[in-house]
Amino acid sequence: MNKEYDIAVLGGGLAGLSVLYHLIKAGKLEGKKALLVDPEGRKSAHDRTWSFWETEPGPFEAQVFHRWHEVTVHDRDRDLNCKLHPYVYKLIRSSEFYAHVNMVIDDSGAVTRIEQVASDVEGHSDKVTFRVGEEAYQVNHAFSSIPLHLRPRQIKEPYLDQHFRGWYVKTEEEIFDPGVAALMDFRTPQENETRFLYVLPFSKTEAVVEIAIFSNVHLKMEEYDRLIGNYIKEHWTVQPYTIEHYENGNIPMTTYPFPRWDGNLIYIGLRGGAARPSTGYTFYGLQRQLVELADSFPATPPKPWRNRDIMYDATILRILQDNRLPGDQVFTDLFQRNPTPRLLSFLNGESTVGQELALMSTTNIAQFGRSFVSEIFN
């Protein structure tokens, strides 16, 4: 049994690297030895894009690739222009994030990396044990982002996958406004699901164009590409453009009560319920949680979302999953009927009860009220 390390991080993606970064910044790894276990090894590629909104500079402000102070929301009948102040919409590419965080981790001298899979992970009241290949390890504390694969029919809570596909495009003509992002554009066939595209321009000729679908039925890759291509042709340009980068993925959207810990084993990232259930946004809430976790470590880890946030999201997800109201109507109504900062504060889990009541008064009260009550007793 290898007992050389004090702390282990199992999974080296966004959550695993972030928790190490924040522990280092909080001085919690001084005099400690940490182990980072991930089969993919040291990450450096542009394989992810994270977008979020906040009112103040965040811990990765220097890594922000682009910022927007205004967004648009569209459905077949409405075109909304939304000023974000005091919020700013920001985008970070994984390549810049990985480079910065890996540098901080390396400079700490406290972290050893192993490019293998951790297995047989068990939390205990005073330790965590696991295996890497043929070797057994015991550490005082461990953080795991190893996925928990849920199946919608196995849980009582609402569940929708958010599956997405994105193109980084470069056009020949100047068609984009780099100061305005299209946050949600529902002008694509909905197929009894919630489908929207978003367009995040970096210049007049460069943008990421991505489709997101809230559904437990996934498409073939060529179908996502067909929908993106049709959208660009219908709403942006019929002139030639190049696709310089692709990205795709899936985020589980559910109010399933992910365990936050098992003894000294702490779950983080999607495994710990860090994604906002109603939207899939993860980066901002995760960083907020992990800053607090690092500052208070080894105390009980904080929740990623407040209890009432989870109840609100269970209501929205159930409405979407059961198609009680069209998703394009739900979200466009929220943006049209509310000051944008109020809605963004709500989606960040920062709103007051007064703001939440004001927001709820702008919804279909009969449908939302019935769904809210049914989730309380679910």
pLDDT of 195-206, one tens digit each? 999 999 999 999
Helix H or strand E encompassing 28:
none
Q: Do domains 7-45+96-150+255-296 and 159-253 have the same CATH topology?
A: no
**What's this model's pTM, rounded to 2 decimal places?**
0.94
Q: How far apart are CA 142 and CA 8, in angstroms?
A: 5
| Confidence band of 262 (pLDDT split at 50, 70, 90) | very high
| Confidence band of 138 (pLDDT split at 50, 70, 90) | very high
Average pLDDT over residues 62-71: 98
Q: How far apart are CA 192 and CA 63, in angstroms?
A: 38
Of 3.30.9.10, 2.130.10.10, 1.10.3720.10, 3.40.50.300, the CATH number of 159-253 is 3.30.9.10
Q: Write down the domain spans for the chain.
A: 7-45+96-150+255-296, 159-253, 307-376
Q: Which residue, 229, 260, 263, 231, is CA-closest to 246?
A: 229
Angle in degrees, 0-180, between the axes of helices 307-321 and 327-337, rounded to the nearest 10: 130
Measure the CA angle with vertex 257, ends 252 and 261; round to 5°: 105
* Helix, strand or coil, per DSSP, at residue 46: coil
For residue 359, pLDDT beyond 80: yes
User: What is the domain class of 7-45+96-150+255-296 according to CATH?
Assistant: alpha beta
Q: Which residue, 22, 21, 23, is CA-closest to 6?
A: 23
pLDDT at residue 377 in the model: 74
